[in-house]
Amino acid sequence: MQAILALEDGRIFRGHGYGHPGDCQGEVVFNTSLTGYQEISTDPSYAGQIVVLTNPQIGNYGTNHADNEAGKPYIEGLIVREFSPISSNWRSEQVADEYMERYKVPVLAEIDTRALVRHLRDHGVMRGVISTKEPDAQTLVERARSIRKMDGTDLAKVVSTPSIYHFDAADPRSQWGDPLLSTVLDQDAKERKLNVVAYDFGIKQNILRMLAREGCRVTVVPAETTAEDVLALKPDGVFLSNGPGDPEPVDYAVKAIRGLMGRVPVFGICLGHQLCGLALGGRTYKLKFGHHGGNHPVRNNATGKVEITAHNHNFAVDPDSINVNEVELTHVDLNDQTLEGLRHKTLPLFSVQYHPEAAPGPHDSHYLFRDFRKMMEEWKG
C-alpha cells in the first residue's frame, strides 16, 4: 500500500502505508522517545496532530491493553522509519499494525524520517496530510494548507470526559512488577485520606495512577467545570491535567483556576501549567517545533539538580510575563531556556510544563506528586 505525506510548504515524502488505509490530516510534530509508541499514540495531548517518531524501529514489541493512556489513540496519524509486521514480547496482545488499523490510524513508513525531522526543526511544525488514496501530491498540499491551525484552537473540551467519574484503582498495569504501586492500587478507596479533584483537559491514565499511589481518592471532572462546582466536592486538592491545543482560548479554565487559588491546593502539569500561567496574569506563546520526547534536561532552580524529563507541548509560558514578586520560577529547560515550572510564593499553587508521570519516560520527577501530597496535608492540617 503506497502512501504520501504532503506538507503545507510543498515538501513531499513517499513511502508505504500501514494501519488504516485512508487519509488523515493535522499538525506534524516529532517525538524523540526511544520507547512508548503506544502510550504516545493514546495520549490525548496529541489530538489534532500527526506524530513522527525518531526511533527507527517501531512496533516490534506489539501492543497491550495495559499500556493505553486513554481508551483509544488520539494521534491523527503515525510516521516511522520501519514498522514491524510482527511483535516479540511476552506482554503483547496485538501487533501494532492491527492495533492501528483497528482504531483507524493511518501509518506512513519507509521514509527518511531523519530528513523529515530536520525539515521540521529548520522550518517549524506545519500542517500535513497522509493519504493512501490520492496520488496527486499537489492536491494534498492544497488540502494541507486548508487545515485549521493549532493556534487559537481549544481542543481541551473536545477530548475531555463528558461527565464526572471516580478513578477505578483496580488497574491492570499493577500486575507488571511494581509492588508499591500494586499495593496502593489494591487498597479500598475508603482507606485513602486525600480527596483530589482532577480536571480532565486530556488526562493520562498514569497521572491517575500516580495520584492513587500517593493515597488520593480521585474524582475526574470535565474541562468546563466551574470553581464553585469543584469546591462543592470538598477537595483537599485540585489537579490540572495535560491536554491538546492552544491554552489561550481555554478561558473557562483560567476563570476556574482564579476561583480556586488560595481556597485549595492546586497542582498543574503541561496544559495545566500554561493555564496557571495565564491565571497568574502571564502570557503564552507557541514554540517553533515544540518539545516532544522523554529525554529533555530540566534544572530545578531550588536544588540545582537536573532532571531528565518527558515533554509533550507546543506552547510555553513567557517568563517575562510572570510577576516574580508573587511567583517563583522553579524549573528551566536546559535545551532552550523555556520556563518549565512555577510556584506561587504565598498561595498553595505550583505547576510544571513537563510530565512527571512520564509514561513513557524517566522517573526523575515523580517527587512532584509527593510534593503535592505534602502540600495538601499541610493545608488540611
Query: Hey, what domains does the chain have and what are their CATH numbers?
Result: 2-145 (3.50.30.20), 156-380 (3.40.50.880)
- CA 256 to CA 287: how far, in whole Å? 26
Report the SS3 class of residue 290.
strand
Look at residues 114, 80, 111 and name the one whose alpha carbon lies nearest to residue 97.
80
- What the block records as the C-alpha cell of 158 is 473536545
Report the DSSP pairing between strands 266-269 and 237-240.
parallel
Looking up cell 511567583, which residue turns up?
Answer: 327
Give the residue numbers marked as catalytic: 270, 355, 357
pLDDT of residue 182: 47
- CA 4 to CA 289: how far, in whole Å? 22
- CA 115 to CA 94: how far, in whole Å? 30
What DSSP line would sit under 205-241, residue for residue? HHHHHHHHHTTEEEEEEETT--HHHHHTT--SEEEE-
> What's the pTM value of the predicted model, to 2 decimals?
0.94
Q: Where are the alpha helices (DSSP H) in 1-56?
A: 37-41
How many CB atoms lie under 10 A from the CB of residue 362? 15
pLDDT of residue 190: 54
Q: Which residues of the chain fall short of a pLDDT of 70?
A: 169-192
Look at residues 361, 69, 364, 368 and name the one whose alpha carbon lies nearest to residue 213.
368
pLDDT of residue 173: 43
